[in-house]
A and B are shown apart, each in its own frame.
Chain A
């Protein structure tokens, strides 16, 4: 008996120890980013690093707000991600509904093509995407960038949206049909209000994913006044001599809104993310 309770205590001790180690690994780097953004470079470059800034300094943030570049990148990224998220939502509501409700032969082919194209590395198409965009006159423009990054998110978003439509009973459409309600009207007026959580999940997921884009921006957009955040961070601030307070301040500003967005909508996001994988 004594032996057993010793085992139980030691195994739960081990459990909490492992939990602490993994969470330290996951969260300490984020804390370190925050702390560094509040330290002066003189303090950051000490041989023995300090765990908390001696004098909290907002110099990094001040410089970023005043350098006339950071806010432009930020604004560009907001515009690009927001428009892309809206486009993705609209497309995946339409296509997701079609895939969920109608089972024609070519739907299967389409689904297979979608999941195949989801696998493709972005670089594999960037080379020729660049020449296509050039021919269309869409390089170095936000429109081209929005279209390209929307396309990458469409396959996943459509199947995610379809899984939300699957949960809505078909009787509703039958009833609407009997009442003489047209197909598009049925979708927009009757079904769509029921999948608002799905729309939120798709919208926020696409916003996060397009905010994360780096490759499309760096190949398709050349002019500095059109750069997005990731691109601007890499090309402007990560130089030969890096100002780490500045970089960490910029990182905090780039990451925190995403973290807040996630916490606000995590219920929908997690449901959506998990639904995609657990069902398959």
Chain B
């Protein structure tokens, strides 16, 4: 390489500029990195580690590291059947909430996309449940579900022609989870509708129009044209909804607190109770570790199926 001095200088210049860029970029990212590492990554790793140890309130107050206890946290929770039941309740809750949210949101988005009277106005007031803080959403539904005096038990009374007089959706083992599912559905339909509506803007009108002229019915067009075009939006919004519901805790805290008789004790409720009610932090961490694994597997499987099914 026998280059003349002038281009060489510019090459050197370029290199130093690139190095400066690198340094500048690093400095810009530093605050975000520090915050995320200190308050997200380290706690997650630390809590996975904690789950293999005996870690109780004394360890916390005396600042003593936990002692390895041969998976005792996991085996104890498993033998008591708490882990299995929490996994299955979480699964039921997530599956129903996400499924219903998707169906209702898709219906609402399709209707709004057909530009009914007042579509713009409806589109903005529909977001109200999403903006309402989750704890307040919980209190609002707790009042509707209240037994006695709640609106729901009155409606059930009227519609059953006075046969069921004190219906308390949260008081019975069989219906309590449904109380939370309805509240979750109410809270999450707006955002998913918004995202699906945005995805519908990407569906080319001319293809829809051409299919209509060719005599394709509404549902044929929906399944063969619209949904394939919306694939990535659906994948993202449903993944977001799955994660959101896996994480759900405030609704359970305000509505049921895991009861009655553990019928709504999801992994979130179980880990919170183990750690902060029973003060057994190691055991709580074991639940969250299982929870993380289950969630990662579910999201991965969903994405695999969804990508393959449509490619």
Contacts and interface: CB of A to CB of B under 8 A. Distances in A.
Nearest to B108: A22
Tell me the dominant secondary structure on chain A's binding face. Answer: helix
Contact of A238 (B133, B139, B289): B139
Contacts of A92: 32
Kindly state the interface size class of chain B when it binds its partner: 35 or more
B132 A255 contact: yes
A266 B285 contact: no
Interface string B230-255: 00110011001001001101100110
Tell me the dominant secondary structure on chain B's binding face. Answer: helix
Nearest to A247: B139
A97 B181 CA distance: 39
A266 B237 contact: no
B54 to A, nearest CB: 14
A124 interface: yes
A53 to B, nearest CB: 14
A181 interface: no
A266 B127 contact: yes
Interface in A102-131: 102, 104, 107, 110, 113-114, 117, 119-131
A154 B34 CA distance: 11
Contacts of A49: 151, 154
Kindly state the interface size class of chain A when it binds its partner: 35 or more
Contacts, number: 260
B159 interface: no
B165 to A, nearest CB: 10
A171 B154 CA distance: 65
Interface stretch (B80-88, B172-180, B203-211, B269-277): B269-277
A32 B275 CA distance: 36
Given A36-B143, A151-B36, A184 B128 contact: no
Nearest to B281: A127
Interface string A15-31: 11011001101110110
A32 B285 contact: no
Interface stretch (B1-9, B42-50, B91-99, B220-228): B42-50
Interface of B: 20-22, 24-25, 28-29, 31-33, 35-36, 38-44, 46-47, 50, 60, 63, 104, 107-108, 111-112, 114, 116, 122, 124-129, 131-136, 139-144, 146, 148-149, 151, 154, 186, 189-191, 194-195, 198-199, 202, 232-233, 236-237, 240, 243, 246-247, 249-250, 253-254, 268, 271-272, 275-276, 281, 284-285, 288-289, 291-292, 295-296, 299
